[in-house]
Amino acid sequence: MSEVVARPAREAGPSPDGGRRELARSGAVSLVGSLVAAVGGFALTIVVGRLFGAHTAGLYFQAVAVFMILNGVALAGSDTGIVRALSARLALGRPDRARLALRLTLTPVLLWSVVVAATLAVLVDDLAATFPAADRQVVTAYLWVLVGTLVVSACGQAALNGTRSLGTVGPFVGLYQVALPLTRLLAVGALWWTDAPAGWLLLSYAVPLVLMDAAAVAILVRALRRRDAASPDRSAAPEPSRADEARELWGFNLPRGVASCLELGLVWADVIIVGILLGPAAAGAWAAASRFVTTGTMAMEALRLQSAPAMASAWARGDRRGLGEVYGVTAVWLVLASWPLFLLLATHAPLVLALVGPEFTVAATPLSVMALGMLGYVALGNVNAALLMAGRSVATARNTGVALAVNIGLNLLLVPALGLLGAAVAWAVALTLDSLLCLLRSGVDLPLVLPGRQLLAAGGAALLAFGVPGVAVRVLAAPTAGWLLAHVAVGAVVYAALLAALRRRLELDRLDLAPALRRLVPHRRRPSTDPTTDPTSHPGRNP
């Protein structure tokens, strides 16, 4: 095993309480960005559905699904691999090796992206021919937009994830969670306002992404160059060969790339299968429902931004216990932050989908099923990210392959009989199975143990505060805006009281989040190479 992932810890790190407080504070900053991204994604789904209708929205989201899967192929695992590689090298005080790892990652990704884009370009006409004649012109335009975007998107997104290893989540939050969704919203509105052709709609998705990619590469390259220039002379340090370095990087990245494509299949394959079996309008309704559910994972996204680099740094220094501590603590926080939202979404699914349009309410029951299915998935924590940061990319690929096979099999079995409800059941079962397999296969040397008593306390509080009133609303009243506001108000008061009573069991009294707002300006902080005080210490789904 490489020295980057096997070097033992040589000195004691900060106290667990200090690391936990720092993780919570920086996680609060990420949560702000995740909230903006969630609202932006929520609004984009509503705007596309409202302005362009279920049929065009279905074609749009099918194109997005194709892009996400092909972009995952082009990334080849480099988005996760670069977080792990840079975090480990910077934790060991080797920014020079971090720069080398960046070059050895981005160059092959760029070349491979050209191959993926060229392959799609060859298949454009054949793929468009599979759609009804009335849709072929729009589909062809969408596919050519994807061809151009795929050339550069993988490099940019790998670099964007790499910025999370720098001791700040500022670039990631600013570019991906704030600028990107807001720019897409403005672009969709501009296209509708100017009565642009429907074939231009996907440009509102692609152009902001390309601009973000270019900015991310520039930020990461500049930051690593500065760190390398400021580091002490390491002429006496042993240097691995470029071949050994590349072997280590891509020995992790390639299995991760397979797993990433399979994970994207879990998230997006249902849109394509529903479109084939039930038509574009049904695909549009399903895409809207599934987008609302993935929007609800903002807490998981926020904590993933912090926990993945911290776990990679802990593993690099031989701190197995520290990695397990981060995983267990964040699992409890995920339940505390996410379960209320999913319970609200399950209760008020008809109201939420009616915001998009009356054509989309056919997916209300499937949305409730998916939201409830997320409760189990969230309770298993960011286990996929923990395995990946410990280098278990092959194991995660196997697990996700099993889950995807189950997902596709259940879709083909249930969708013809149950429609969108069958797709929802398949999605919830497969997603939870993926995380469960990761937890069961973590291994003896990777202590991933869920804190059962704390999870029961956190989940029980959420169920009492939001689940019980939710059942009452569905049984006794219709989901309306008034009942939603009442549900939120009552649930928030009861939840706050329960958390106050359970604060010691949940160890909330050991957290101090007051300084979080002062950390919204990350460049004012002194960079840290300590993984338990690093503020960058997963779906969507990928770590």
Structure tokens at 414: 């249930």
Q: What is the pLDDT of residues 213-269, one digit of tens each?
A: 999 999 999 999 888 887 766 555 566 778 888 888 888 888 878 877 777 777 777
Q: Do 226 and 313 belong to one domain?
A: yes
Integer angstrom CA distances of residue 78 from 167, 383, 463? 19, 19, 39
DSSP string, 91-118: HTT-HHHHHHHHHHHHHHHHHHHHHHHH
| HEC per residue, 304-343 | HHHHHHHHHHHHHCCCHHHHHHHHHHHHHHHHHHHHHHHH
The per-residue b/e assignment along 125-138, b for 16 or more CB within 10 angstroms, e otherwise, is eeebeebeeebeeb
- Which residue, among 301, 168, 278, has the nearest Cα to 223 in the 3D structure? 168
Q: Do 55 and 157 belong to one domain?
A: yes
Integer angstrom CA distances of residue 126 from 2, 119, 121, 274, 275? 45, 12, 10, 20, 17
Helices and strands (H and E) in the chain: how many = 20, 0
- Which residue, among 59, 43, 53, 69, has the nearest Cα to 283 in the 3D structure? 59
Q: At what angle do helices 16-75 and 298-316 cross, to 10 degrees?
A: 100
**Using CA atoms in the order 367, 373, 378, 381, what is the torsion angle rounded to 10 degrees?**
-140
43 C-beta neighbours (distance < 10 Å), count: 17
- Which residue, among 434, 463, 448, 490, has the nearest Cα to 338 in the 3D structure? 463
N-terminal to C-terminal alpha carbon distance within the chain: 22
What are the φ/ψ torsions at residue 464 (nearest 5 degrees)? Answer: -65, -40
pLDDT at 536: 31
The answer to whether residue 255 sits within a structural domain is: yes
Q: How far apart are CA 265 and CA 249, in angstroms?
A: 24
Q: Do 442 and 473 belong to one domain?
A: no
Q: Do 397 and 289 belong to one domain?
A: yes
389 C-beta neighbours (distance < 10 Å), count: 30
SS3 94: coil
Q: How far apart are CA 138 and CA 199, in angstroms?
A: 5
Residues 6+ apart with CB under 8 A from 470: 343, 344, 346, 347, 487
Amino acid at 308: A
The answer to whether residue 290 sits within a structural domain is: yes
Is the Cβ–Cβ distance between 76 and 257 less than 8 Å? yes
Q: Do 169 and 95 belong to one domain?
A: yes
The per-residue b/e assignment along 436-456, b for 16 or more CB within 10 angstroms, e otherwise, is bbbbebbeeebebebbeebbe
Q: Do 431 and 461 belong to one domain?
A: no
The answer to whether residue 473 sits within a structural domain is: yes
Give the domain-ending residue among 400, 422, 450: 450
Q: Do 434 and 505 belong to one domain?
A: no
The whole domain housing 35 covers 15-230+242-450
Is the Cβ–Cβ distance between 149 and 209 less than 8 Å? yes
DSSP state of 532: T
For the chain, the domain total comes to 2
**Using CA atoms in the order 40, 41, 45, 50, what is the torsion angle rounded to 10 degrees?**
0
Is the Cβ–Cβ distance between 247 and 102 less than 8 Å? no
Q: Do 360 and 477 belong to one domain?
A: no
Query: For the chain, which ranges sit under pLDDT 50?
Result: 1-19, 512-543
Q: Position of tokens 């309704």? A: 285
Is the Cβ–Cβ distance between 46 and 352 less than 8 Å? no
Q: Do 430 and 399 belong to one domain?
A: yes
Q: Do 407 and 320 belong to one domain?
A: yes
The per-residue b/e assignment along 62-83, b for 16 or more CB within 10 angstroms, e otherwise, is bbbbbbbbbbbbbbbbbbbbbb
- pTM score over 0.85: no
pLDDT at 241: 77
Q: Do 410 and 468 belong to one domain?
A: no
Q: Do 32 and 152 belong to one domain?
A: yes
**What is the Cα gyration radius of the chain?**
23
The answer to whether residue 23 sits within a structural domain is: yes
The answer to whether residue 288 sits within a structural domain is: yes
The answer to whether residue 9 sits within a structural domain is: no
CA angle, 445 then 337 then 321, to 5°: 20
